[in-house]
Amino acid sequence: MKVSIKDISERTGVSPATVSNALNHKKGVNADTAAEIFRVAKEMGYISESRIGKIKFVIFKRNGLIIDDTPFFSLLIDGIEKECRASGMEMVLCHLNYEDEDYEEQVNWLIHDNSSAVIMLGTELMEEDVPLYKNASCPFLMLDYWSWDMSFNGVLINNADSARMATEYLLRKGHKKIGYLRGGFRIKAFRSRAVGYATALNKAGISPEKKYMVTLSTTINGAYEDMKAYLETGPQLPTAYFADNDMVALGAIRALQEKGYQVPEDISVVGFDDLPFCEIANPPLTTLRVPKQEMGRVAVKRILEVINGTDKIKTKTQVCTIFVERDSVRDLKNRDGGDSDEG
């Protein structure tokens, strides 16, 4: 028997007009009510996810401090687009700005548009933003973000393990005074990297010292200006820094060099991301390579499993980084005398 709007109305307890408005994405329907209407419509077979032929890649922007000034995300988009094309799906690029007056309304219609699946770039997402997305009735996946109370799938970088690996590399090179160049906008990825950094030091019997931690802007120019101002205070410096990302690392290196420090002879630096220009930086930056295109492809493959109903469980998929050794780290163990406690 064919399911009608009246049947959905009777099941949900709301009027047929409200059901119709929700299913046709018209404004004026409460977000929770709309979510329940879509849930029941799917359950009763009125809506079939098999009709989905496009994937919306949504770039969430809180302030742009991370996503506006880096080529990282263009490579990610390329991976998503290629996998969509290979799978016969249309990719639609959308932007979602937290500062827009109708932000919540935009989210409401986005997550209840059952003609599309959604892959959302959540790099700049904060914990308090997550509840708004929990009632998504369309196939939904969060990219580059994870929260333990999320009710949808996630694909992200193994941030903590990667930062631990980078810090352990510096320890193997004989560095004991290892500082941390913190991105000023504390996104979830950076907080996870901080955990990895501290874990490696604690495991080696070294306590992370606040005097070696510097908070910098997340743009190259901003990090340069902040590091330059910090160096003017005459701080005690470590022998090496782990940086939250390449943008922070490269900005800090420029400031260090202008102040007369040589990298890596005086101070070593390890970044995170392996952006295209790291290889031609001066010196070429040792960093952690995020397989950006592959990460995009993994996200599409996972959302297709959700669309096709082949996997009903929620998963957290972590993409491993690749350590790229270049010329920005000095090996203190192999220098003259073998003393690794240089200040």
Same domain for 86 and 118, yes or no, is yes
145 and 188 belong to one structural domain: no
Per-residue pLDDT of the chain (343 residues; tens, 9 = 90+): 788 899 999 999 999 999 888 876 565 777 678 778 878 887 888 876 556 878 999 999 999 989 887 788 888 999 999 888 887 788 999 999 999 999 999 999 999 998 899 999 999 999 999 999 988 989 999 999 988 877 789 999 999 999 999 999 999 999 999 999 999 999 999 999 999 999 999 999 999 999 999 999 999 999 999 999 999 999 999 999 999 999 999 999 999 999 999 999 999 999 999 999 999 999 999 999 999 999 999 999 999 899 877 777 889 999 999 999 999 999 999 865 445 454 4
Domain count for the chain:
2
For residues 329 and 202, membership in a common domain is answered with yes
Q: Kindly state whether residues 173 and 269 are assigned to the same domain.
A: yes
pLDDT value at position 8? 92
Task: Classify residue 42 as exposed, middle or buried by CB count within 10 Å of its CB (0-12, 13-18, 19+).
Answer: middle
CA distance 218 to 193: 15
* pLDDT in the model for residue 163: 98
pLDDT, residue 25, reads 54
**Residue 20 pLDDT:** 87
- Indicate whether 262 and 309 sit together in one domain: no
For residue 50, the tally of other CB atoms under 10 A from its CB is 9
The answer to whether residues 181 and 220 belong to one domain is: yes
Question: Can you give the residue range of the structural domain that contains 299?
Answer: 54-157+294-319
Q: Which two tokens stand for residue 340?
A: 């690794």
Query: What's phi and psi for 159, nearest 5 deg?
Result: -60, -50
| Residues 58 and 118: beta-carbon distance below 8 Å | yes
Q: What is the CATH number of the domain that holds 311?
A: 3.40.50.2300
Give a yes or no: residue 10 inside a domain: no
